[in-house]
Amino acid sequence: MRASIALFTFAALACSALGCGGTVEIPRICFKQASLAVPGSPAGGSVASPSFSIDLTNQIPLLRTNASDTDLRVDQVTITPVAGTTPDLSGIQTATMQAQPATGAAVNVVRYQRNPAAPPPVAIVLGGDTVNIEPYLVAGQARLSVTLAGQPPAGGWTADVETCLHARASVSP
């Protein structure tokens, strides 16, 4: 991951210095939100995690926010119960991660749909990369939350949330 970031920085600086343009890609970079408290849902239904932020500008040097030539897409989100907590995840039928812009409604980014024929999951893995989250960044940070639906665990639990994305940006002189 650090090698990709260093290459991204080097390519962007070299293009700027030489007056050339081009496209720079980071194929995959992951961020971990450790020990996120997930509330329980005693009556079933839906439950939303507290929102959390990923500071992309500190992790991706020279990231230009509010630029039409920057594309950031979430590929996968893995929600894993922290050791010592044992929630029953089998009742979670769907999960959705939302990005919260500075103003307006949250936007769904990735989704999970449980396969009823599959064994009970030990982690919830959301997937998809159809939404560019760059327009929803607030000061270079992605403000995210997760909604679990179906029959989420009745009691609160703690999870590590790993969010992986890819980036593409055009560098112009």
Tell me, what CATH number does 6's domain have?
Answer: 2.60.120
SS3 at position 155: coil
End-to-end CA separation in angstroms for the chain: 26
Winning range, highest mean pLDDT, from 78-87, 143-152, 163-172: 143-152
Ranges 19-23, 100-104, 143-147: which has the least confidence: 19-23
pLDDT in tens, 7-30: 454 455 455 555 566 777 888 999
Contact predicate 126/77, CB 8 Å: yes
Q: What's the domain range around 49?
A: 2-171
* Structural domain total, the chain: 1
Close Cβ partners of 173 (under 8 Å, ≥ 6 residues apart): 15, 16, 19, 20, 21
Between 70 and 30, whose confidence is greater?
30
Q: In whole numbers, what is the pLDDT of the chain averaged over residues? A: 85
